[in-house]
Homo-oligomer: A and B are copies of this chain.
Amino acid sequence: MEIAELGEFGLIHHLTENIELKNPETKKGAGDDCAVLAFEPGKQVLITTDLLMEGVHFDLQYVPLKHLGYKSAIVNLSDIYAMNGRPRQMTVSIALSKRFTVEDMEDFYEGLRLACEAHGCDIVGGDTSSSLTGLAISITCIGDARPEDVVYRSGAKDTDIICVTGDLGAAYMGLQLLEREKSVYNQQLKEARERGEKLDALPPFQPDFTGREYLLERQLKPEARKDIIEALAKEGIHPTAMMDISDGLSSELYHICTQSKAGCRIYEERLPLDYQTAVMAEELNMNVTTCALNGGEDYELLFTVPLTDHDRVAAIPGVKVIGHITKPELGLQLVCRDGVEMELKAQGWNPLKAK
């Protein structure tokens, strides 16, 4: 169905009419000038927002809209957990061009809803409009936390240990894999066109991703580490600093060290890597450590805890101790497998920076 048949109000209504509001804090969702929220007394409110642009943050040639909806929600949910908070509400704005159908937007919302339900987050409104070119997605997520529970980037202290969750670099390898297959497919299309063949007569393009499923999943369907936040709370461990890994470990360590006025030393041999990440890096002739440090989009948590918490934190499944905080004058150091120390560079993922 064409979106023009429904119009703006019709589309918003269609997409949001079945959304159930489950949190007692949500007094009013979509349908008025504002959403109205009532937080528990004494709770602080956390706000994060992300703007995702087609062609910059996602490529619809290989990202299904349902996955895009899911991931768009996750990247915001992850920021709430990174403050040690609990996601409560989300607003979702989309600007779309004529090529999208109502069914496309249903898929996108289906993904959004799945993520929000898994994380106890109500969709409370947003904005739907048109775009002259690609799809733009803007999500704002609202969370809450007790003031004493909120964890900033600025609290890391000398000798604190540095932990990361899950493994790193796999989402980036997934992206490389998808980009490679896209090139192959586009090349086939080009050649078929040059031979004068009809494109719809081509056999369907079916790349073989066997043995790479984890990389694709990490790129297309990342998760936010609610489980870790719950495990830390259960253990009574309060991180001194925390953030989520969206731009890459190096970049995030840079933020924590700068804001905590500290240095750090991490160990290459301790960086958590999946087997598939290592194989793919080898195949692409890339340094797997570089992928883990600068790949980005892992949506894992990076946090610091006092040295005295070492044994308890190391016992949490999915948490790995990768190094420790140092005095600021020591800088950000990576201790390589051969014992050589290298300075970490916060390269990160920076589309605005000149290459």
* A contact residues vs B (CB 8 Å cutoff): 2-9, 11, 27-28, 31-39, 41-42, 44-51, 53-57, 79-80, 82-83, 85, 89, 91, 93-95, 124-134, 136, 138, 140, 142-143, 147, 150, 152-154, 243-244, 259, 348, 350-354
Take A34-B46, A131-B53, A140-B140 as given contacts and tell me if A350 and B8 are in contact as well, using a CB distance cutoff of 8 Å: yes
- Min C-beta distance of A282 to chain B, whole Å: 31
Distance A153 CA – B28 CA, assembled complex (angstroms): 11
Is the CB–CB distance between B33 and A153 below 8 Å?
Answer: yes
Contacts of A82 in B (CB 8 A): 33-34
Contact of A85 among B34, B79, B133 (CB under 8 A): B34
Distance A126 CA – B44 CA, assembled complex (angstroms): 19
Contacts of A142 in B (CB 8 A): 45, 47
Q: Who on chain B is nearest to A12 by CB?
A: B352
User: Copy number of this protein in the oligomer?
Assistant: 2
Distance A262 CA – B6 CA, assembled complex (angstroms): 24
Contacts of A49 in B (CB 8 A): 91, 93, 125-127, 138, 140
A-B contact pairs, 21 of them (CB 8 A): A3-B352, A4-B352, A5-B354, A9-B350, A27-B147, A32-B152, A32-B153, A33-B83, A34-B46, A34-B85, A34-B143, A37-B45, A37-B46, A47-B125, A50-B127, A51-B127, A51-B129, A53-B131, A93-B138, A128-B352, A130-B352
Contact of A130 among B6, B46, B48, B53 (CB under 8 A): B53
Contact of A129 among B47, B80, B152, B352 (CB under 8 A): B352
- Min C-beta distance of A273 to chain B, whole Å: 24
Contact of A55 among B7, B32, B55, B132 (CB under 8 A): B132
Is the CB–CB distance between A79 and B132 below 8 Å?
Answer: no
Contact of A132 among B83, B133, B140, B259 (CB under 8 A): B133
- Min C-beta distance of A260 to chain B, whole Å: 12
